[in-house]
Structure 1
Amino acid sequence: MFYTNKTILITGVAGFIGSYLAKYILENSDHTVTIVGIDNLNDYYDVTLKGTRLTLLKDAAEIPANGTFVFVKGNLADKELVNSVFQEYSPSIVVNLAAQAGVRYSITNPDSYMESNVMGFFNILEACRHSYDDGAKGIEHLVYASSSSVYGANKKVPYSLEDQVDHPVSLYAATKKSNELFAYAYSKLYGIPSTGLRFFTVYGPLGRPDMAYFGFTNKILQGQKIAIFNHGDMYRDFTYIDDIIIGLSNVIQKTPVEDDNGVKYKLYNIGNNKPESLMYFVETLEKCLMEEGIISRPAEKEFLPMQPGDVYQTYADVTDLINDFGFKPSTSLYDGLRKYAKWYKEFYLST
Structure 2
Amino acid sequence: MNSVPGNRLPPPVARKGRGACSNERSRFESWRREREPAPPPDDEADAPAPTRTTVWMKQARSIISANDSPDIPFDASINPYQGCEHGCIYCYARPSHAYIGLSPGLDFETQVQAKANAAELLEKTLSARGYRPKLIVLGGNTDPYQPAERELGITRSVLEVLERFRHPVSVTTKSGLVLRDADILARMARQGLARVYVSVTSLRNETMRSLEPRASAPARRLAAIRGLHEAGVPVGVLVAPVIPAITDIEMEAILEQAAAAGAKSAAWILLRLPREVAGLFEEWLQAHYPQRARHVLSLLAQMRGGRLYDPEFGTRMSGTGVFADLLRQRFELACRRHGLNRERQPLRTDLFSVPAAAGAQLDLFGG
Where on the TM-score scale, by shorter chain, does this alignment land: which range? 0.3 to 0.5
- Report 1 or 2 for greater relative contact order, CA contacts < 8 Å, sequence distance ≥ 6: 2
Which entry has the higher C-alpha Rg, 1 or 2? 2
Instruction: Please identify which structure carries the higher helix content.
Output: 1
Provide TM-score, normalisation by structure 1: 0.37
Provide TM-score, normalisation by structure 2: 0.36
